[in-house]
A and B are shown apart, each in its own frame.
Chain A
Amino acid sequence: MNRPDDTLSPEARRRIDDLLADDALGNLDSEDAAELRNLGVRSNPLHTIVSSLSEAIVPEAAVSLSLQSKIEADAARILGGSEPIREHPRKVVARATSTRQPPQLNFATWMGWGAAAAACVALGLTLARPGPPAQVVVKEVIREVPAPAPRKLPPAEARAALLAGGESVLQAAWSKGNTDDAVAGDIVWSANRQSGFLRLTGLPALPEGFQYQLWIIDAAREGQAPVDGGLFDITQVADARPAEVVIPFSAKLHVTQPAAFAITIERAGGVPVSKQEKVAALAKPA
């Protein structure tokens, strides 16, 4: 905002706040926009908050090679470059086990940036230094911002570290689902990280063509399908005694109020929405 708050009445301040919120959330009509301008407001700091929340809430999505090529071609055409944008080694994100994402490139692949997308940085530096050709600037950014090497602990140690770290986490014991498996163990969930660990004994290895899939039931998503927590396999060891396994997982969408966790048996590759015909385990936080 350009107009100092102390010159405004509380009512005017409240009205401006309402209009700024409407604008940031895409609910401002022309009349409201004119009113905001008349009130002396020229910019909206709430965009920063909505962008940050978008970044935290919306998961990254794989970009097809054809779309990647189109965007690169557009960039070259509009910004005046001719070389394709160089690929950058992909940041590897740990997953529980297999993923059902198709073999496509992530945005991070083609511009070399993680959560905020490389496009942000590349575009920023391109604009900040309008002189040099765009492609050269992008390459500079890639060198300046290498993908950080994640420090990887074995899952059991990472789980222990999370529990010992003093961070507020949610822990719930597994109970039997609608299958015959006598499952035990627990789930640890960090709302801050939007990820956690499954500790399980008693789940058998599945026949070929099937996988376990974790689901998070979010009370804040009333009427919507549970959130996908990822796929995993159990590999039975030869002595037949079910071993304890610890598996990291992360929510594919932002979870606000986890009311329950469920492990279902699905066809290999998983499903976007489970029919919950075979529920191997359930955990409900107290």
Chain B
Amino acid sequence: MVYGLARRFLRDPSAADDASQEIFIELWKVAARFDRSAAKESTFILTIARRRLIDRLRRDNARVKTDSFETVPEPATDMPIDQVEQRDMALQAMSAMRQLPPDQQKVLMLAIEQGLSYSEIAERLGTPLGTIKSHARRGLIRIRELLAVEQTREVE
């Protein structure tokens, strides 16, 4: 999964190899901060992998490095994902994404699949930056709402 993400983001196989190695080195190093009871392993790994890849992508493109306000993700207290297998969660998330308006889907796909920044997506789609931000934000929040509803149904 990490390597798949690296290939998707970086395209160049040798850059993807280097990035994957870096990601795993970082993972081994930060491993001690991982609390299994607080977050899923895949979330922990993929979050670090995405950040490292986005940093690399934007560094290579001489763009401004993005920041984050935390290092290790914590679980969503409003989404009991521990009860759901990770793959089911992935399918549910995709199912929720398919319920979004096409414009929101397109923006999220470009951001998640290719690691494009809002500005890059705006440029690629020829759409104002503010609209792209709005699509991305509303889309992701809507997915959260849809998943919360789905999980409430499961509990009932």
* Most chain B CB atoms below 10 A, which of A23, A44, A67: A67
Point out the residue from A22, A29, A78 that lies within 8 Å of B25, measured CB to CB: A78
**A117 contact set on B, CB distance < 8 A:** 1-2, 42, 45
Point out the residue from B27, B70, B105, B115 that lies within 8 Å of A43, measured CB to CB: B70
Q: Which of B93-108 contact A (CB under 8 A)?
A: 93-95, 97-98, 102, 105-106, 108
- A33 touching B109, Cβ below 8 Å: no
Per-residue interface assignment for chain B, residues 138 to 155, with 1 indicating a CB less than 8 Å from any chain A CB and 0 otherwise: 001101100100000000
Q: Tell me the bound Cα distance from A117 to B141 in angstroms.
A: 27
**B86 contact set on A, CB distance < 8 A:** 52, 55, 115-116, 120
Per-residue interface assignment for chain A, residues 57 to 80, with 1 indicating a CB less than 8 Å from any chain B CB and 0 otherwise: 111110110110011001100110
CB of B41 closer than 8 Å to a CB of A: yes
CB of A222 closer than 8 Å to a CB of B: yes
Number of A-B contacts (CB under 8 A): 247
CB of A123 closer than 8 Å to a CB of B: yes
CB of A256 closer than 8 Å to a CB of B: yes
Interface residues on A, range: 35 or more
Which label, helix, strand, loop or mixed, suits the secondary structure of the A interface?
A: helix
- A26 touching B51, Cβ below 8 Å: yes
Point out the residue from A26, A46, A63, A123 that lies within 8 Å of B45, measured CB to CB: A123
Stretch of A124-132, A178-186, A204-212 on the interface side: A124-132
- With contacts A26-B66, A30-B67, A256-B98 taken as known, whether A54 is within 8 angstroms of B75 at the C-beta atoms is no
Q: Tell me the bound Cα distance from A48 to B41 in angstroms.
A: 10
- B98 touching A191, Cβ below 8 Å: yes
**B66 contact set on A, CB distance < 8 A:** 26-29
* Most chain A CB atoms below 10 A, which of B90, B98, B124, B133: B90
CB of A95 closer than 8 Å to a CB of B: no
Point out the residue from B27, B40, B91, B113 that lies within 8 Å of A119, measured CB to CB: B27
- B140 touching A50, Cβ below 8 Å: yes
Q: Which of B56-81 contact A (CB under 8 A)?
A: 64, 66-70, 73-79, 81
- A41 touching B109, Cβ below 8 Å: no
- A74 touching B25, Cβ below 8 Å: yes
- With contacts A33-B69, A45-B77, A78-B29 taken as known, whether A51 is within 8 angstroms of B47 at the C-beta atoms is yes
- A116 touching B2, Cβ below 8 Å: no
10 A–B contacts from the bound complex (CB under 8 Å): A25-B118, A42-B70, A43-B73, A54-B50, A55-B46, A56-B94, A63-B20, A78-B25, A119-B2, A256-B105
- A126 touching B54, Cβ below 8 Å: no
- With contacts A71-B20, A126-B31 taken as known, whether A22 is within 8 angstroms of B137 at the C-beta atoms is yes
- A107 touching B137, Cβ below 8 Å: no
Per-residue interface assignment for chain B, residues 98 to 139, with 1 indicating a CB less than 8 Å from any chain A CB and 0 otherwise: 100010011011011101011000001100000001001100
- With contacts A25-B140, A78-B25 taken as known, whether A48 is within 8 angstroms of B76 at the C-beta atoms is yes
Determine how close the nearest CB of chain A comes to the CB of B60; give it in whole angstroms: 14
- With contacts A57-B94, A220-B106 taken as known, whether A48 is within 8 angstroms of B81 at the C-beta atoms is yes
